[in-house]
Amino acid sequence: MSEAVNGRLVSVKTKFHREAVRPGGINRSGANMSSARSVEALKAQVEDRLEASTEPLVALLRDWQAERAPQGCDWAGQVRDLAGLAGLHLLTEVAMHCFDCLDAVAIDGVVLKPTEAAVLADALAFARQDMCRGSDLEPYRSLLQDLTTLSNRVVARAEQDGVAR
Amino acid sequence: MPVEYVFIMALKFAEDSVNLSEVGFLVADPSDLYRELFRRLLYGFGARTVHEASEAQTAARLLNDRDVDFLICAADLPRPGHERSQRSGIDFVRAIRLDKKHVRRSIPMVITMGTARRVSVGQARDCGANFVLSKPVAPVVLYDRINWIARKARPFWESDTYYGPDRRFREDDHAGVPKRRQTDGHAVDLEDTDV
């Protein structure tokens, strides 16, 4: 409430607002077509980079070393972002769970057991397959529910540790 | 074809289009691929100037030295000594917004986020960004957000702790904004993705 008293509304009109509405721009369908071409041109690069991030991440999780969690986080973040561009939506989902778990290890210092890391590695290897392309995740609902349970359990350790301290 | 019809269609085309040829963009993102993707998309949308920064220091320098009219900033943009921070990009945007002497403090700013566990969309929104977009960012969503900012400029709220679009104004049509996680029953509320 006090902020409402202490603040004020100001009208903002920047160069962007003036330029962007000038005639001669590109409409939505034109932008759609051009972005499809742009993403298509990146596809080969995306696949290569995806491989370069997924392989070491799977290797790390199979031979789990907690001190390398920050590096694993970076790989998981890359896989998450790249998989979406490659149309591998299951892999995006799995990478998000990996990221959440590794992030909790790297920042909160929680314990990720080797068996749990191996589960994440298996899920990544499965999701990386060509058969898992596309955005229909219904066939993988139970896998994703299990991963949600796992990542919630790992992340919850940070709160438990915090309470214990 | 009736002249009125041609006129209406031309008007509709103009309203549906966005002219980015004279707009300078800055993409601040630690991911090489995302910087490249945004650059390609923005060129595809008609932009001719896209600056890039992989960390906050370079982004700050480019904001001062170059003609930047629109900022796309990753929430986890690294800053020196804080490489693993999930919200340094958010702090970066907030610092620019709150700096009354900064020449770019009022330009449109969009935050892109890869994970919402540590940083809520609400926290990201409160830094003064115009929008928060979830990664992976769908190209058409990026276009729609740019177009929306261009056509529906909201007044800014200015106080000691906040400078940015007035959050009492909301967008009605959120179609096309992706959920962060398709399986997430508590996926980001679309209403909350807008500032």
Q: Do B150 and A14 touch (CB under 8 A)?
A: no
> By three-state DSSP, how is residue A8 classified?
strand
How far is the C-alpha of B97 from the C-alpha of B150, rounded, in Å?
Answer: 19
Per-residue pLDDT of chain A (165 residues; tens, 9 = 90+): 444 568 899 999 899 999 999 998 999 999 888 888 877 878 788 888 899 999 999 999 999 999 999 899 889 988 988 887 788 889 999 999 999 999 899 888 999 999 999 999 999 999 998 777 777 888 999 999 999 999 999 989 887 766 555
Distance from CA of B49 to the nearest CA of A (A): 13
| Whether complex ipTM tops 0.95 | no
Split into its structural domains, chain B has a count of 1
CA contacts within 13 A on the Cβ side of A30: 15
Q: What are phi and psi of A69, to 5 degrees?
A: -60, -40
In terms of residue numbers, what domain contains B132?
A: 21-180
Q: Does B131 touch chain A (CB under 8 A)?
A: no
| pLDDT (tens digit per residue) in A83-97 | 877 888 899 999 999
Angle A69-86/A28-62 helices, nearest 10 degrees? 140
Residue contact A25–B33, C-beta within 8 A? no
Q: What are the residue ranges spanned by the domains of chain A?
A: 43-164
Q: Looking at the complex, does the CB of residue A1 fall below 8 Å from at least one CB of chain B?
A: no
Find the CATH number of the domain harbouring B117.
Answer: 3.40.50.2300
Q: How far apart are CA A79 and CA A124, in angstroms?
A: 10
Is B143 at the interface with chain A, CB within 8 A? yes
| Sheet strand arrangement including B156-158 | A8-10, B156-158, B163-165
Q: What's the alpha-carbon Rg for chain A, to the nearest Å?
A: 21
B160 touches chain A (CB under 8 A): yes
Q: Which residue in B has a C-alpha nearest to residue A108's C-alpha?
A: B118
The helix-helix angle for A69-86 and B32-44 (nearest 10°) equals 30
Name the burial class of residue B22, with classes exposed (0-12), middle (13-18) and buried (19+) by CB atoms within 10 angstroms of its CB.
middle
B192 pLDDT band, cuts 50/70/90, is very low
Question: Taking CB atoms and an 8 Å cutoff, what residues of chain A touch B143?
Answer: 28, 31-32, 35
**CATH, domain range A43-164:** 1.20.120
**Does residue A138 sit at the B interface (CB-CB below 8 Å)?**
no
* Nearest C-alpha neighbor of B92 from the set B124, B137, B67, B49: B124
Average pLDDT over residues B11-40: 86
> Are B105 and B141 spatial neighbours (Cβ–Cβ below 8 Å)?
no
Of B16, B107, B117, the CB nearest to A27: B16
Instruction: Calculate Rg over the CA atoms of chain B.
Output: 17
